[in-house]
C-alpha cells in the first residue's frame, strides 16, 4: 500500500470531533486567556481570569452603576462582588455558560466596554473547578453553580435584602494552572490601574482600599520619583482621552496605555498615534526637526482612550487594532494627534519653564546619541566578529514579536509568550541548561566572568564592554524595548556568594540601562533546588532548609543528601524538570515607593556602613530562623 493511501485510511469520520464550548476552552485555553503560567508573571492566566470577572464590574461602573467593587482572595479561591444592575435573573445561567450571549452585543447597553465578544466569564467558568454566580436585582436573587463549565445546580429565585449587583466566586482549576499563586505586587498594579482609569471608583482587596482622584496623574506619580523628573507631570484630559507625561533621568521610553479601561501591555494603534502625535507636536512647538528618538528618550507617559466597538488583536486584549475611534468615525491617528497638537501645545505655551526643561532634556539626548554613534558602529562590528549566535547564544525557534498571522496565530502567540532566555555564568551551567531546554521556546546566553558594576555609568559602557554589548544584541534591545526577542529573561546563577554577586551585577545592568524591562515584568531569577534528598525508592528536590528537613522526615532511615553548589553539578536530565512547565522563577518587581536610582545607590553604591548594617541585621534573622527550624 502506498504511503498516501495509508494516510487516507488514517483520516476517517472518527477523526472529526465537534467540541462544545467548555471542551474547546479547556482544550485550547491559550486562545481565550493567553498563556497559563503559575502566577509568577503578571500576564499569567490566573490574573486574566480575575480580570475577566472584574471587567464586567468596571463596565457597569462606566455605565453609571455601582461605585464600589469588593474582592477577596483566600488561598486559591476568589470572590468578586459589584453593586451594578445585576444580571437579569432569567439569564444568569446563559450569560456565564452560552457562547455569544451577553448584553454587550447591544451597543445601547454598553457603549464603550472592554468585553464585546461574550467570552470572558465563560472562560472563567470552564477553567474553574468551582464557579458560582449570584445576581441581586430589585429585591430578588438567583444563583447558579458550575464545575469546569458543567451546570451543577440552578437555584430558584428568592427574595433578598442585598443591594443590586453580581457576586462571582471561583477557584481556578489546578489541573490547568499548576501550582498557581498570586503575587501581591501584581494584584496591586492591576487594582490601581482600574482606579486610575475610573477616578472615584472604590476597590477593596482583602480589606485594602484602592481609590484615585486624579486618574493618570496619580499613576505617573506612583510610577516615578518626583526628584528624578525633569519637569512637573503634564496632565491633559479631553472627551474620551486622557494623557499624562514627563521626562526622567533614566534610559528608554516607558508607556502605560489603556483602552476602555483595559491595560494594553502591547500597545497598539492608540499608542502608535500618541508617539507620532507627540513627536509632531514637539517639533512644531520648538520649530525644529529633532530626531524622534531624542524627543521621546527618557519619556514616561500614560494614555487612555475610550472607543466604540474596540478591536483587539487577541482575546487577551493586550494590543489594540482599531484604526478608528468608532465605526465610520475619526481615525485613531487624527483623534490622538489633534488632541496633542491643541492641548499639549497650549500647555507648553502657558508653562515656559516646563517647555525649557523639556527642550534641555531633548538636547541632552541629542548630544548623547551623537557621542555614541561612532562607538555603536565599532561595537556592532565587534559583535559580528564575536560570532554571537554560535559562541554566546543558543537561540530558540519562537521569539517575542507578537506578529504571528494565519490560522495558527493563537498557538504561535502562546509560544512567543513562553519564549525565555536564560542568562548563565560559565560554560558548565550553560551546558546543562542547553542540553535540558526546550529548543522551541528556551534560549541560553552564557556570561564570561563577573559583569562590570554599571551603577552610575553612562550607556557608553554598554557598547565598550563586550559582555554588555553582546547581551544587548542577544536581546535585540539596542534600538529600544520594542525589539525584545524573549518575553522572559531569567537570570540563572549558582546558589553561592559568587553567583549572588553576578545576579546583582546583571540586575544592575538592566535597572541602569533598560529599566522598562524590569518595570514591565520581564526579568526573573531562576530558583533551582539547593538539596537532593533520596533513598532507593524516591528522590525529592528541596529549595530550602525547611523543605530538606521535611523530606528527611518523610524518607526516614538516613537518606542520601546532596547539596548543590553550582548549576553545573545538576545533570541535564535533572535540569529538564527544573526549567520545564513547573519551573520556579521569582519575578524581579519594583514595589510601590521603590525608585531605581535610590535602590542602586543603596545596594551597588559606596554607602558601605549602611549596607553592612542591613546585612548584619538580616543575617541575624536568618540565623534565628535556622535555629528555630533545627529545634522543630
Residue-level pLDDT at 631? 39
Q: Tell whether 319 is covered by a domain.
A: yes
pLDDT > 50? residue 240 = yes
Q: What is the pTM assigned to this prediction?
A: 0.76
Q: Tell whether 296 is covered by a domain.
A: yes
pLDDT > 80? residue 599 = no
Q: Which of 14-18, 105-109, 319-323, 512-516 has the lowest mean pLDDT?
A: 105-109
Q: What is the DSSP letter of 271?
A: H
DSSP characters for 424-488?
Answer: EEHHHHHHHHHHHS-TTTEEEEEE-SPPP--TT--THHHHHSHHHHHHHHHHT-TT-GGG---SE
Domain harbouring 501, CATH code: 3.40.50.670
State the total domains in the chain. 4
Question: Domain boundary at 175, 210, 245, which?
Answer: 210
In terms of domains, do 35 and 178 share one? yes
pLDDT > 80? residue 613 = no
Q: Which of 20-24, 91-95, 213-217, 242-246 has the lowest mean pLDDT?
A: 20-24
In terms of domains, do 557 and 579 share one? no
Q: What SS3 state is found at 23?
A: helix
| pLDDT, mean of residues 344-366 | 95
In terms of domains, do 79 and 103 share one? yes
Pairwise pLDDT comparison (570 vs 503), residue with the higher score: 503
Domain harbouring 337, CATH code: 3.30.230.10
Give the confidence band of 105 by pLDDT, cuts at 50, 70, 90.
very low
Pairwise pLDDT comparison (297 vs 591), residue with the higher score: 297
CA-CA-CA-CA torsion sign (481, 486, 487, 493): negative
| pLDDT, mean of residues 106-117 | 47
CA distance 494 to 542: 15
Q: Which of 280-284, 404-408, 533-537 has the lowest mean pLDDT?
A: 404-408
| pLDDT, mean of residues 31-59 | 86
**% of residues, the chain, pLDDT over 70:** 85
pLDDT > 70? residue 65 = yes
Return the number of other C-beta atoms located less than 10 Å from residue 568's C-beta. Answer: 18
pLDDT > 50? residue 110 = no
In terms of domains, do 200 and 296 share one? no
DSSP characters for 497-525?
Answer: HHHHHHHHHHHHHHHHH-HHHHHTT-EEE
Q: Tell whether 74 is covered by a domain.
A: yes
pLDDT > 60? residue 13 = no
pLDDT > 70? residue 313 = yes
| pLDDT, mean of residues 288-315 | 86
Q: Are 37 and 182 in contact (CB under 8 A)?
A: no
Closest C-alpha to 168, from 219, 110, 207, 125: 125
Give the confidence band of 226 by pLDDT, cuts at 50, 70, 90.
confident
Q: Which of 148-157, 380-389, 550-559 has the lowest mean pLDDT?
A: 380-389
CA distance 392 to 394: 7
In terms of domains, do 122 and 175 share one? yes
Give the confidence band of 99 by pLDDT, cuts at 50, 70, 90.
low
| pLDDT, mean of residues 170-186 | 90
In terms of domains, do 424 and 543 share one? no
Q: Tell whether 37 is covered by a domain.
A: yes
Question: Domain boundary at 151, 177, 210, which?
Answer: 210
Most confident range, picked from 1-10, 88-97, 139-148, 307-316? 139-148
| pLDDT, mean of residues 464-493 | 87
Q: Are 527 and 541 in contact (CB under 8 A)?
A: no
| pLDDT, mean of residues 106-135 | 71
Q: Tell whether 614 is covered by a domain.
A: no
In terms of domains, do 504 and 399 share one? yes
Pairwise pLDDT comparison (100 vs 587), residue with the higher score: 587
Q: Which positions ≥6 away from 546 have C-beta within 8 Å?
A: 629
Q: Tell whether 604 is covered by a domain.
A: no
pLDDT > 80? residue 550 = yes
Q: Which positions ≥6 away from 347 have C-beta within 8 Å?
A: 234, 236, 354
Most confident range, picked from 219-233, 274-288, 473-487? 274-288
pLDDT > 70? residue 119 = no
In terms of domains, do 148 and 182 share one? yes
Q: Tell whether 625 is covered by a domain.
A: no
In terms of domains, do 56 and 188 share one? yes
Cell 558601605, residue?
608
Residue-level pLDDT at 116? 40
In terms of domains, do 301 and 424 share one? no
- Which domain covers residue 101, as residue numbers? 22-210
| pLDDT, mean of residues 144-163 | 92
pLDDT one-digit tens code per residue, 17-26: 556 667 778 8
Residue-level pLDDT at 582? 78
CA distances from 352 to 124, 359, 360, 606 (A): 51, 10, 12, 38
In terms of domains, do 354 and 410 share one? no
Most confident range, picked from 100-109, 125-134, 426-435? 125-134
Q: Tell whether 233 is covered by a domain.
A: yes
Domain harbouring 111, CATH code: 3.30.565.10
In terms of domains, do 262 and 360 share one? yes
Residue-level pLDDT at 15? 54
CA distances from 73 to 82, 207, 263, 453, 586 (A): 15, 10, 21, 41, 21
Give the confidence band of 565 by pLDDT, cuts at 50, 70, 90.
confident
Q: What SS3 state is found at 236?
A: strand
Average pLDDT of the chain to the nearest whole number: 83
Q: Which positions ≥6 away from 229 have C-beta within 8 Å?
A: 246, 247, 248
Residue-level pLDDT at 275? 94
Residue-level pLDDT at 8? 47
Pairwise pLDDT comparison (488 vs 520), residue with the higher score: 488
**% of residues, the chain, pLDDT over 90:** 35
Amino acid at each position: 500500500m502506498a504511503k498516501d493511501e495509508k494516510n487516507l485510511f488514517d483520516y476517517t469520520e472518527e477523526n472529526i470531533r465537534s467540541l462544545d464550548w467548555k471542551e474547546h476552552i479547556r482544550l485550547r485555553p491559550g486562545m481565550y486567556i493567553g498563556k497559563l503560567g503559575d502566577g509568577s508573571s503578571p500576564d499569567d492566566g490566573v490574573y486574566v481570569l480575575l480580570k475577566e470577572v472584574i471587567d464586567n464590574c468596571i463596565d457597569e461602573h462606566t455605565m453609571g452603576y455601582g461605585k464600589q467593587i469588593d474582592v477577596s482572595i483566600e488561598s486559591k479561591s476568589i470572590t468578586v462582588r459589584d453593586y451594578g444592575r445585576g444580571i437579569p435573573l432569567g439569564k444568569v445561567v446563559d450569560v456565564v455558560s452560552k457562547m455569544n450571549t451577553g448584553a454587550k452585543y447591544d451597543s445601547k447597553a454598553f457603549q464603550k466596554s472592554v468585553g464585546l465578544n461574550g467570552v470572558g466569564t465563560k472562560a472563567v467558568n470552564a477553567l474553574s473547578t468551582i464557579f458560582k454566580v449570584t445576581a441581586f436585582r430589585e429585591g430578588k436573587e438567583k444563583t447558579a453553580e458550575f464545575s469546569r463549565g458543567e451546570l451543577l445546580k440552578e437555584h430558584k429565585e428568592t427574595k433578598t435584602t442585598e443591594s443590586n449587583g453580581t457576586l462571582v466566586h471561583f477557584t481556578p482549576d489546578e489541573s490547568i494552572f499548576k501550582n498557581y499563586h498570586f503575587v501581591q505586587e501584581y494584584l496591586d498594579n492591576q487594582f490601581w490601574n482600574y482606579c486610575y482609569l475610573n477616578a472615584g471608583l472604590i476597590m477593596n482587596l482583602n480589606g485594602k482600599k484602592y481609590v484615585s482622584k486624579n486618574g493618570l496623574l496619580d499613576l505617573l506619580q506612583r510610577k516615578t520619583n518626583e526628584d528624578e523628573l525633569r519637569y512637573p507631570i503634564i496632565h491633559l484630559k479631553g472627551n474620551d482621552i486622557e494623557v499624562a507625561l514627563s521626562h526622567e533621568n533614566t534610559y528608554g521610553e516607558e508607556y502605560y496605555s489603556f483602552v476602555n479601561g483595559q491595560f494594553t501591555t502591547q500597545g497598539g494603534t492608540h499608542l502608535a498615534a500618541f508617539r507620532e502625535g507627540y513627536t509632531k507636536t514637539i517639533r512644531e512647538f520648538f520649530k525644529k526637526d529633532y530626531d524622534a528618538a531624542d524627543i521621546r528618550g527618557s519619556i514616561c507617559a500614560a494614555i487612555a482612550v475610550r472607543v466604540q466597538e474596540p478591536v483587539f488583536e487577541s482575546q487577551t486584549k493586550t494590543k489594540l487594532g482599531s484604526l478608528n475611534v468608532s465605526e465610520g468615525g475619526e481615525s485613531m491617528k487624527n483623534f490622538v494627534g489633534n488632541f496633542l497638537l491643541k492641548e499639549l501645545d497650549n500647555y507648553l505655551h502657558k508653562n515656559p519653564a516646563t517647555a525649557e526643561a523639556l527642550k534641555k532634556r531633548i538636547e541632552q539626548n541629542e548630544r548623547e546619541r551623537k557621542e555614541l554613534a561612532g562607538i555603536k558602529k565599532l561595537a556592532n562590528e565587534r559583535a559580528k566578529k564575536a560570532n554571537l549566535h554560535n559562541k554566546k547564544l543558543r537561540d530558540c525557534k519562537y521569539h517575542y514579536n507578537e506578529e504571528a498571522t494565519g490560522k495558527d496565530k493563537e498557538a504561535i502567540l502562546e509560544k512567543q509568550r513562553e519564549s525565555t532566555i536564560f542568562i548563565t555564568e560559565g560554560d558548565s551551567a550553560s551546558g546543562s541548561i542547553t542540553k535540558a531546554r526546550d529548543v522551541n521556546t528556551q534560549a541560553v546566553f552564557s556570561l564570561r566572568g563577573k559583569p562590570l558594576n554599571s551603577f552610575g555609568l553612562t550607556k557608553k559602557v554598554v557598547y565598550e564592554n563586550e559582555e554588555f554589548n553582546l547581551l544587548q544584541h542577544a536581546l535585540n534591545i539596542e534600538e529600544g524595548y520594542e525589539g525584545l526577542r524573549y518575553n522572559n529573561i531569567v537570570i540563572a546563577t549558582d546558589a553561592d556568594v559568587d553567583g549572588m554577586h553576578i545576579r546583582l551585577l546583571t540586575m544592575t545592568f538592566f535597572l541602569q540601562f533598560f529599566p522598562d524591562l524590569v518595570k514591565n515584568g520581564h526579568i526573573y531569577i531562576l530558583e533551582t533546588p539547593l538539596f537532593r534528598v533520596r533513598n532507593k525508592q524516591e528522590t525529592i528536590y528541596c529549595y530550602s532548609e525547611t523543605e530538606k528537613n521535611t523530606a528527611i522526615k518523610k524518607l526516614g532511615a538516613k537518606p542520601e543528601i546532596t547539596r548543590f553548589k553550582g548549576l553545573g553539578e545538576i545533570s541535564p536530565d535533572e535540569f529538564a524538570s527544573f526549567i520545564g512547565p513547573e519551573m520556579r522563577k521569582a519575578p524581579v518587581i519594583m514595589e510601590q515607593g521603590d525608585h531605581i536610582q535610590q535602590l542602586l545607590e543603596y545596594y551597588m553604591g559606596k554607602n558601605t556602613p549602611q549596607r553592612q548594617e542591613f546585612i548584619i541585621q538580616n543575617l541575624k534573622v536568618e540565623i534565628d530562623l535556622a535555629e528555630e527550624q533545627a529545634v522543630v
